Amino acid sequence: MDIAELQVVEAEEGVAFSLKSNGKIWVKGKNSAVDRALERIVGHRDEIPALLRARGTVEEEDVVREIASSVPSLAVVRQNYIAWFSARSTYYHPTAAQLDAMFGACEEGDEIIFDFAHSFTVRKLDGRLLQIDRRGRVAPPSAYSPAVRQ
C-alpha cells in the first residue's frame, strides 16, 4: 500500500487516519465507515505507520504538568548547583556530561537539595524523596540526607 491508496480509502470511506505518538493508528469517522476502512487496510496495517509519518500526520497527546511556583526553574537550580559545588574541592565537581545526566532526570517543579558530592536529593511534587546520582540514575534517598532527617 502507498500513500495514494491510503488517501483513496480515506476519501471513499469518509475517514481520517492519524498516528498517535505512542505508535497506535487512529481512525476518525462514522462507526460503519471506520469498520469498512479497517477492513480495506487489514493486510497493510504494518505499513500504515510509515505512510502516516511520511505524510506528517503524527499527533502528540496533550499533557498537563503541574509545577510549584515556589521552586526555582531547573535552569536556575542548575546554576545554583554549579555555584554550590564550585565552592568545594574538585572531588565534588561533576563533568558537563554528568551534570546533564543529573538534571536530565529532573522535572520542572522538583525541589533539588544539594547534599552529597556525587548525588543530590529531589523532592517531587507529590512529596516523594529520590536520589539522583551522576549517571542520572534514580534511587531511594540516602538515610543520611538532611531532607530525610527532617
12 has a pLDDT exceeding 80:
yes
- Asked if the structure places residue 68 within a domain, the reply is no
**For the chain, how many structural domains are there in total?**
2
Predicted TM-score (pTM) of this structure: 0.55
SS3 content of the chain, % helix, strand, coil (to 5): 40, 15, 40
Domain co-membership, 37 together with 84: no
Residue type, 98: Q
Domain co-membership, 91 together with 142: yes
- Asked if the structure places residue 67 within a domain, the reply is no
Q: 34, 59, 84 — which closes off a domain?
A: 59
Domain co-membership, 94 together with 135: yes
Domain co-membership, 81 together with 132: yes
- 110-131 burial string, b = 16+ CB within 10 Å, else e? bbbbbbeeebbbbbeeeeebbb
Least confident of 43-57, 71-85, 88-102, 133-147: 43-57
- Asked if the structure places residue 101 within a domain, the reply is yes
Residues with Cβ within 8 Å of 124's Cβ and at least 6 positions away in sequence, in order, are 107, 110, 130
- Asked if the structure places residue 119 within a domain, the reply is yes
The mean predicted confidence, pLDDT, of the chain is: 88
Give the domain range for residue 97: 74-149
Over the stretch 13-62, which tens digit does the pLDDT of each residue have? 999 888 887 778 888 899 899 999 989 988 887 888 888 888 876 666 66
**64 band by pLDDT with thresholds 50, 70 and 90:** low
Report helix, strand or coil for 20. Answer: strand
The span from the CA of 5 to the CA of 100, in Å, is 46
Report helix, strand or coil for 23. Answer: coil
